[in-house]
């Protein structure tokens, strides 16, 4: 499946910008959504602060976790921290917060993370949004197409 098809299935949120698409709707009595916004590498949950504030103003529940070993949780980095750890971070958030019908947003590296979450707990998700995110083809890894010098 091509990235543009996934994005079109995301109700235009990725193309128009998450905040503007979710907030462009006039206020109405519709049931609020639950958003989990997952940052990319080299960030933390704090990078979503302005988007989260605007979504909350509209009555949505918003979670902005920081992945293990990144941002303010950088003190937890170790050789054992990897993609599986980050998928588990988000799966645990969904389970412990008892979140259902979640709009799961992944930016950059987190596109891979939210794909892993969707494989593990699809029943908890309403929608995946890939916001300028990585999306791997089956059998590929993050580094599959990197030049050998970069891999080293």
Rounded Cα distance, 46 and 39, in Å: 9
Give the residue among 103, 107, 111 at the shortest CA–CA distance from 128. 103
Q: Which residue has the tokens 């988000």?
A: 90
Contact 70, 44 (CB under 8 A): yes
Which two structure tokens, joined as six digits, stand for 139? 């059998």
CA distance 116 to 86: 9
Quickly count: other Cβ atoms within 10 Å of residue 136's Cβ: 14
The set of residues, in sequence order, having a beta carbon less than 8 Å from that of 90 and lying 6+ positions away, is 36, 38, 65, 104, 113, 114, 117
User: Which residues participate in catalysis according to the annotation?
Assistant: 108
């Amino acid at each position: 499946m091509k990235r543009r098809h996934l994005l079109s299935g995301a109700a235009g949120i990725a193309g128009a910008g998450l905040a503007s698409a979710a907030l462009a709707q006039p206020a109405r009595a519709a049931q609020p959504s639950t958003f989990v916004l997952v940052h990319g590498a080299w960030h933390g949950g704090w990078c979503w602060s302005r988007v989260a504030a605007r979504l909350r103003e509209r009555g949505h529940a918003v979670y902005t976790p920081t992945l293990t070993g990144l941002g303010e949780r950088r003190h937890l980095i170790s050789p054992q921290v990897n993609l599986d750890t980050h998928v588990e971070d988000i799966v645990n958030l969904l389970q412990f917060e008892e979140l259902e019908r979640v709009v799961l947003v992944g930016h950059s590296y987190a596109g891979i993370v939210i794909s892993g979450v969707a494989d593990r707990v699809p029943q908890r998700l309403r929608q995946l949004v890939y916001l300028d995110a990585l999306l791997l083809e089956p059998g590929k890894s993050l580094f599959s197409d990197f030049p050998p010098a970069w891999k080293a």
